[in-house]
Amino acid sequence: MTELETIKIHRRGGAATIELSRPETMNAWNRQFGLDLLAAVQEVRDDDAVRAVCITGAGRGFSSGADLRDMGGQDLDDAGRPDVYSVLTERYHPIITGIREMPKPVVAAVNGPAVGIGLSLALAADLVVARESAYFLLAFVNIGLAPDGGSSLFVPERVGFTRAVEMAMLGEKVGAVQAAEWGLINKAFADAQFEAEVDALMDRLAAGATAAYAGVKRQANAWLYARMADQLELEAQVQREMAHSDDFVEGVSAFLQKRPAAFVGR
């Protein structure tokens, strides 16, 4: 398969694993990461020998979200602010829709923290399993942003309005065991058993009725995510507004300086 800089693709029988591979940053998303992940999703989608797909992270984390330390390498708009609209619509949304529309089952094997767009990526999968030590965090509000990557759709569809708004507005960690109890994910496995459980699940899916799985996804998408394209567009528009706020500048500065943010409400 294609050699990619920040993503690795592993094959085992009919199962393919997309490994997020920037472990030194807890698999944070920069420009190259987005390009590589999109290429990987398209590659396993188009490979008829692949009957089930797993997405997991290298090292200690699943994905820590956007790489805020790489802001200088981000695309900028005419005002000199990060061009989040173009990044989302041109690079990230095709990844999310590619996973949801892929005619084969996709499992997110969350081996560590899934934060921000990393959480969105995990919830785009059909089945989500995690180590008990992992956690999930809609961290956007902590830097003056709103959820993106589809999480404004995926989270409430999984856990309902009350818990979704709590996650989005309070920006607090949800441990894997609690996430499973809420229905945010399917199962939380003991850390020592995690890899064996993921392998067994992938073997089962890779040996299963692939066309039937595709039919299940089409039905679920039609019933639950028929407005996904509209919601992704709304997320991008809202995020563009947030990226021009003073609170966003303060949030990023506070994160990089490892201090509490002092938001002013504009």
pLDDT tens-place string over residues 9-50: 999 999 999 999 999 999 999 999 999 999 999 999 999 999
Provide the pLDDT confidence category of residue 242 given band limits of 50, 70 and 90: very high
pLDDT tens-place string over residues 118-161: 999 999 999 999 999 999 999 999 999 999 999 999 999 999 99
- Judge whether 205 lies within some domain: no
* CA separation for the pair 114, 168 (Å, rounded): 14
Is residue 41 packed enough to be buried (19+ CB in 10 Å), middle (13-18) or exposed (0-12)?
buried
Total domain count, the chain: 1
The pLDDT, as a whole number, for residue 146 is 97
- Judge whether 24 lies within some domain: yes
From the list 229, 238, 237, 231, the residue with the least C-alpha distance to 94 is 229
- Judge whether 196 lies within some domain: no
pLDDT tens-place string over residues 178-229: 999 999 999 999 999 999 999 999 999 999 999 999 999 999 999 999 999 9
Which residues lie across from 187 on neighbouring strands?
A: 129
- Judge whether 201 lies within some domain: no
- Judge whether 12 lies within some domain: yes
- Judge whether 265 lies within some domain: no
Residue-range definition of the domain harbouring residue 114: 7-191+210-257
Q: Half-sphere exposure of 82 toward its Cβ, with a 13 Å CA cutoff?
A: 23
Which CATH number goes with the domain that contains 147? 3.90.226.10
Q: Which residues contact 176 (CB under 8 A, 6 or more apart)?
A: 110, 130, 131, 132, 133, 134, 135, 136, 185, 188
* CA separation for the pair 130, 141 (Å, rounded): 24
Prediction pTM value:
0.95
* CA separation for the pair 50, 54 (Å, rounded): 11
- Judge whether 115 lies within some domain: yes
* CA separation for the pair 169, 151 (Å, rounded): 13
Q: Which residues contact 192 (CB under 8 A, 6 or more apart)?
A: none
From the list 142, 117, 129, 123, the residue with the least C-alpha distance to 34 is 117
Residue pair 104/66 in contact by the 8 Å Cβ criterion: no
Instruction: Give the percent of the chain with pLDDT over 90.
Output: 93
* CA separation for the pair 184, 127 (Å, rounded): 10
Residue pair 221/172 in contact by the 8 Å Cβ criterion: no
